[in-house]
């Protein structure tokens, strides 16, 4: 029962603590279950004395709707109770606050983030639409975030929600003016498509920092809502064509010309079909199994097609930390193989260097560096060609390290990451004599071998070398440290400490 005073009410089985928010009829508190689990929940307390006939009907409808649905992007109603003073809705707790606060903290959301959130909201709306439920009060404050670390949207506050078939019309004003569809305000006659307008306003606010009808007064807001002017999208920030198209179709004043629910769910910017879910990942897994089978059978073209179809499902799931990189890498390889005129690449066991060369066809500078490396290998095998091989390796590595630093993540970068230490290892195996380097005007006599070795020990990158007589001190010539020193900083930043350390040992 409710306790006296201004503190939170008392409810059997729970300890109510801080107030999370309040509205016209209700106050929401954070609470802990008294059970051993100490589960954290949010409890919506509705004071009975504040309810009129309409608000009672709304509350009953909210409980009825939430009791019958369970969806990953709709806040869960766990239970409800009542006493002489209040009605208590015991809800899932969302630690990330609401979307309004999140947007205001970030000022604007990057398009990629807004797209993930929009997919999650669309998923919830599709679930409701299939059950003829309209929310009718969509706004950022009614969308909660599961956490701030890995936020997932949770649609909340179904106080104005109604069971509505697509052809049903309503006349009662519901929702918040900033997010109300024009037909709701102007004509007082509307259907389920008002939710789509509200989605457009939410997306606009996420991308541009404020809703399209932001106003200083209610009269100014009403004038903008009643206006027939087309809503123009700001030029900044730059958005993709699909994103702008969706915004314009959602923010269509005429509901008969506004995007339909089905077209919204299927829109390429939303792409619900490939949204991460148990069902979509099961389809992706089945496609990968087929692709691997075709790959093993040597049918590269069919394997590539299946891998790409699977990746259409897997790629959107990368933000969730799914390990699909191996499939992406193999698909990149197969794309290069299938498009190649070199039939030898179709055989299993193709070398990494051959694959890299094939994937470098559209990068002349990378291809030239690989050709120089091949020439260095040829010189290395020829009698007396060690010095020429060293010069060629030096040129090739200088190019490859720069290209590797600029290469975006993908299979080609992985292959480059393998190629560079391979070449460095071949340089380390050259039987070079102790020579002075006249070409670079380096005076060998001025170099202190012990000092160079000490600098390697003390750089913090090769722990454990102190007092150790390894190949760096005993078997490497004076020329080789000079070559390595030229790439030292670049190797550390591009290959990583572990790779270079492993090679030096």
Q: Which contacts (CB < 8 Å, 24+ apart) does range 228-234 have?
A: 228/253, 231/204, 233/204, 233/208, 234/208
Find, among 324, 252, 250, the residue nearest to 281 by Cα.
324
Whole-angstrom Cα distance, residue 310 to residue 466? 50
Dihedral, 421, 422, 428, 430 alpha carbons, nearest 10: -150
**Known binding positions for ATP:** 49
**Known binding positions:** 49
Tokens of 191: 């259907």
Whole-angstrom Cα distance, residue 413 to residue 59? 57
Burial class (CB within 10 angstroms; exposed 0-12, middle 13-18, buried 19+) of 355: buried
**Residue listed under structure tokens 């790439």:** 487
5 to 8, 10, 11, 24: CA distances (angstroms): 8, 11, 15, 20
CA angle at 315 for the pair 314 and 319, rounded to the nearest 5°: 105
Alpha helices in 218-277 (DSSP H): 218-226, 241-250, 261-266
Q: Is position 137 annotated as part of the catalytic site?
A: yes
Please identify which of the residues 36, 79, 83, 137 carries the catalytic annotation: 137
Burial class (CB within 10 angstroms; exposed 0-12, middle 13-18, buried 19+) of 149: exposed
Residues forming the active site: 137
């Amino acid at each position: 029962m409710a306790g006296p005073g201004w503190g939170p009410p008392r409810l059997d089985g729970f300890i109510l603590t801080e107030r999370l928010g309040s509205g016209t009829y209700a106050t929401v508190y954070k609470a802990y279950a008294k059970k051993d689990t100490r589960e954290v929940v949010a409890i919506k307390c509705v004071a009975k004395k504040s309810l009129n006939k309409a608000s009672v009907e709304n509350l009953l409808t909210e409980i009825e709707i939430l009791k019958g649905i369970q969806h990953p992007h709709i806040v869960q109603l766990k239970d409800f109770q009542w006493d002489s003073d209040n009605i208590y809705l015991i809800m899932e707790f969302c630690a990330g606050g609401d979307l309004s606060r999140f947007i205001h903290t970030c000022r604007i959301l990057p398009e990629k983030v807004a797209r993930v959130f929009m997919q999650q909201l669309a998923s919830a709306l599709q679930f409701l639409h299939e059950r003829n439920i309209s929310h009718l009060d969509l706004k950022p404050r009614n969308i909660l975030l599961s956490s701030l670390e890995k936020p997932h949207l949770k649609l909340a506050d179904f106080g104005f929600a109604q069971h509505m078939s697509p052809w049903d019309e309503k006349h009662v004003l519901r929702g918040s003016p900033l997010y109300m569809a024009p037909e709701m305000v102007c004509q007082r006659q509307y259907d389920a498509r008002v939710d789509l307008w509200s989605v457009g306003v939410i997306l606009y606010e996420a991308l541009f920092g404020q809703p399209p009808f932001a106003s200083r007064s209610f009269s100014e807001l009403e004038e903008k809502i009643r206006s027939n002017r087309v809503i123009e999208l700001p030029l900044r920030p730059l958005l993709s064509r699909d994103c702008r198209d969706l915004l314009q179709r959602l923010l269509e004043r005429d509901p008969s010309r506004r995007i339909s629910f089905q077209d919204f769910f299927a829109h390429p910017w939303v792409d619900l079909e490939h949204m991460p879910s148990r069902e979509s990942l099961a389809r992706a897994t089945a496609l990968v199994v087929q692709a691997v089978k075709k790959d093993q059978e040597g049918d590269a073209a069919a394997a590539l097609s299946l891998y790409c179809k699977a990746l259409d499902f897997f790629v959107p799931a990368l933000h969730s930390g799914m390990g699909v990189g191996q499939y992406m890498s193999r698909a990149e390889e197969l794309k290069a193989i299938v498009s190649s005129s070199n039939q030898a690449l179709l055989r299993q066991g193709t070398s990494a260097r051959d694959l890299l060369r094939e994937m470098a066809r559209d990068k002349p500078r990378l291809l030239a560096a690989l050709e120089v490396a091949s020439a260095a290998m040829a010189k290395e095998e020829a009698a007396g060609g060690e010095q020429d091989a060293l010069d060629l390796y030096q040129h090739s590595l200088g190019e490859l390290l720069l290209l590797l630093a600029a290469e975006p993540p993908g299979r080609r970068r992985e292959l480059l990451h393998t190629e560079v230490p391979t070449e460095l290892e071949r340089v380390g195996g050259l039987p070079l004599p102790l020579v002075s380097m006249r070409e670079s005007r380096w005076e060998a006599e001025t170099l202190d071998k012990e000092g160079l070795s000490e600098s390697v020990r003390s750089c913090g990158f090769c722990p454990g070398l102190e007092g150790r007589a390894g190949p760096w001190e005993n078997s490497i010539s004076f020329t080789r440290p000079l070559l390595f020193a030229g790439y030292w900083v670049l190797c550390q930043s591009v290959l990583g400490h572990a790779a270079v350390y492993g090679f030096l040992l």
